[in-house]
């Protein structure tokens, strides 16, 4: 691990070397290096190794070697112990990992320190507990001398491909269950945010994970990512990212009939009825869109408010939002950091412009924000006068931009909510418990929050309906996606 000094953050961040992590050690990449930038300062953080397709092949070979060797021979209970030790090691370095995550992504240290790293630790511990409880069944088969049972076996080499918005969380939602089930992992982190993934692989090895059980190969999705998807030695792809890339990935995976799980984009409805606790709903709507800079797959980016509460709700929401000012993400009081990159901010600002052209009103924000003259900051933004058919109501903006749409009846709210290609999450705010459950049942989404928003737990499955993907992460449901079931028949 090299120690690099940044001019913007003291003490120095502990950044990984410009190497790949393969077979339990740092190795040079054939693909050269690329620069990781701090989006809050526009300064380079460090050089990162860029894996080539051949490097991806090396990582797959190292993972297979681990399965054929020490890792494959590790008992389920010992796998659990190792995962638990990794969690302890990460917990001891929460601050360090949090600061690097914030420098790489631009998210407030408040989030990295108190949510992202702890959630990653929690996923490790949750799946550590499962490692020795994954088993098949004995089956009540017919026939005088027959019996049959099922085994649940690891799939083999799992390629985890992750996005930039929650780097260490997304990584751990894949790595922890994959390892608990006895697979070996090749992780391809997003190019914008590869640093905690590299640091984590070293930490895991130091904590006792056998070499090759986890390998990390940053690089271009179209090269190293694609190679992993097409590689015949990779049994399964666990992908989180955009619907567009997921669509192509599914096609690429078809040639080898690869197991695939896809956690994709969203445009989640947050529905507020007039009988709700409006102050709680305001807080929920605010956190639903501005937490994580709105770069959140499940962001409550479409706010539907019952007409008779609409103006009061919007007034309160705008008042609260006007106190949210972007600032230095490493400052403990900052609650809105920098967007992940220049391109991302341009794209988000472009959507605000599109909204204006479509006839929406910018009720708050809408512009780039100035924080000491540098960084990709943006004002928290609320668009009103929006129609659900507008581009800003249908496409994932992936930034701190909320569109507000009024409705009259519960039926209308449900059909507007479901008028979307996405189905990742939704929120419902009402004091009427019957209405809450009825609406939750009719919304086509993998997660529905009633009178809360953006809550997660390692024990609660998460994933999409429709073009938000398929498969589930977290909970016991995740184990099905990292194991194969084998039926064994026994004659006399």
Residues at the contact surface with ligand NAD, assessed by CB under 6 A: 161-165, 170, 188, 190-191, 221-222, 225-226, 229, 240-242, 245, 248-249, 263-266, 297, 396, 398, 424, 464, 468-469
Question: Shortest approach of ligand NAD to residue 322 CB, angstroms?
Answer: 27
What kind and span of H or E run contains 149?
Answer: strand 147-154
CB of 56 or CB of 314, closer to ligand NAD: 56
CB of 326 or CB of 464, closer to ligand NAD: 464
Inter-CA distances, 71 with 157, 180, 182, 440, 457, Å: 12, 11, 8, 43, 28
Phi, psi of 423 (to 5 degrees): -160, 55
Ordered alpha helix ranges (H), 131-242: 167-180, 195-206, 226-230
Rounded CA-CA distance 467/242 in Å is 10
From 297, 306, 396, 473, the catalytic residue: 297
Instruction: Count Cα atoms within 13 angstroms, Cβ side, for 124.
Output: 25
Active site residue 46: no
CB 190 within 8 A of CB 160: no
Active site residue 263: yes
Pick the closest to residue 365 from 329, 400, 336 (CA basis): 400
CB of 430 or CB of 454, closer to ligand NAD: 454
CB of 19 or CB of 188, closer to ligand NAD: 188
From 111, 263, 396, 473, the catalytic residue: 263
Rounded CA-CA distance 265/419 in Å is 15
Question: Shortest approach of ligand NAD to residue 417 CB, angstroms?
Answer: 17
Question: Shortest approach of ligand NAD to residue 298 CB, angstroms?
Answer: 7
Pick the closest to residue 235 from 292, 159, 288 (CA basis): 159
Question: Shortest approach of ligand NAD to residue 69 CB, angstroms?
Answer: 28
Rounded CA-CA distance 19/318 in Å is 46
Question: Shortest approach of ligand NAD to residue 282 CB, angstroms?
Answer: 24
Burial of 379 (0-12, 13-18, 19+ CB in 10 A): buried
CB of 103 or CB of 190, closer to ligand NAD: 190
CB 293 within 8 A of CB 106: yes
What kind and span of H or E run contains 72?
Answer: helix 70-73
Catalytic residues: 263, 297
């Amino acid at each position: 691990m090299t120690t690099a000094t940044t001019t913007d953050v003291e003490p120095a961040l502990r950044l990984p070397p410009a190497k790949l992590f393969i077979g339990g050690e740092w190795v040079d990449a054939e693909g050269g290096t690329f620069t990781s930038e701090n989006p809050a300062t526009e300064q380079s953080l460090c050089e990162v190794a860029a894996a080539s397709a051949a490097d991806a092949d090396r990582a797959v070979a190292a993972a297979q070697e681990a399965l054929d060797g020490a890792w494959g021979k590790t008992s389920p209970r010992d796998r659990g112990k190792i995962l638990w030790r990794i969690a302890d090691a990460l917990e001891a370095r929460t601050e360090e990992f949090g600061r690097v995550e914030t420098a790489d992504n631009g998210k407030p240290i408040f989030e990295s320190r108190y949510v992202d790293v702890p959630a990653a630790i929690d996923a490790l511990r949750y799946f550590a507990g499962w490692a020795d409880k994954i088993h098949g069944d004995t089956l009540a088969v017919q026939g005088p001398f027959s019996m049959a049972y099922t085994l649940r076996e690891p799939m083999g080499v799992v390629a985890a491909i992750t996005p930039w918005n929650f780097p260490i969380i997304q990584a751990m939602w894949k790595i922890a269950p994959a390892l608990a089930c006895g697979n070996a992992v090749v992780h391809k982190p997003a190019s914008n945010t590869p640093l905690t993934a590299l640091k984590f692989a070293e930490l895991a090895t130091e904590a006792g994970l056998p070499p090759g059980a986890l390998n990390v190969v940053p690089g271009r999705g179209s090269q190293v990512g694609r190679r992993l998807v097409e590689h015949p030695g990779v049994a399964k792809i666990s992908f989180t990212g955009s619907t567009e890339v997921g669509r192509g990935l599914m096609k690429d995976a078809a040639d080898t009939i690869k197991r695939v799980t896809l956690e994709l984009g969203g445009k989640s409805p947050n529905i507020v009825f007039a009988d709700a606790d409006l102050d709680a709903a305001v807080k929920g709507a605010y956190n639903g869109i501005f937490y994580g800079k709105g770069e959140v797959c499940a962001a409550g980016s479409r706010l539907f408010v019952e007409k008779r509460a609409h103006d009061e709700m919007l007034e309160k929401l705008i008042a609260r939002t006007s106190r949210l000012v972007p600032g230095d993400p490493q400052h403990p009081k900052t609650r809105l950091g920098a967007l992940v990159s220049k391109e991302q901010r341009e794209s988000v600002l472009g959507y605000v412009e599109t909204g204006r052209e479509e006839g929406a009103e910018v009720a708050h924000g809408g512009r780039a924000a100035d924080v000491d003259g540098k960084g990709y900051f943006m004002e928290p933004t609320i668009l009103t006068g929006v129609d659900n058919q507008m581009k800003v109501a249908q496409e994932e903006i992936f930034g701190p931009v909320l569109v507000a749409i009024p409705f009259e009846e519960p039926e209308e709210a449900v059909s507007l909510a479901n008028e979307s290609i996405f189905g990742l999450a939704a929120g419902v705010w009402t004091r009427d418990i019957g209405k809450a459950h009825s609406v939750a049942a009719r919304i086509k989404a993998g997660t529905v929050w009633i009178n809360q928003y953006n809550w997660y737990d390692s024990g609660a499955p998460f994933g999409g309906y429709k073009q938000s993907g398929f498969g589930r992460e977290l909970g016991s449901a995740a184990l099905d996606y990292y194991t194969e079931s084998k039926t064994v028949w026994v004659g006399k």
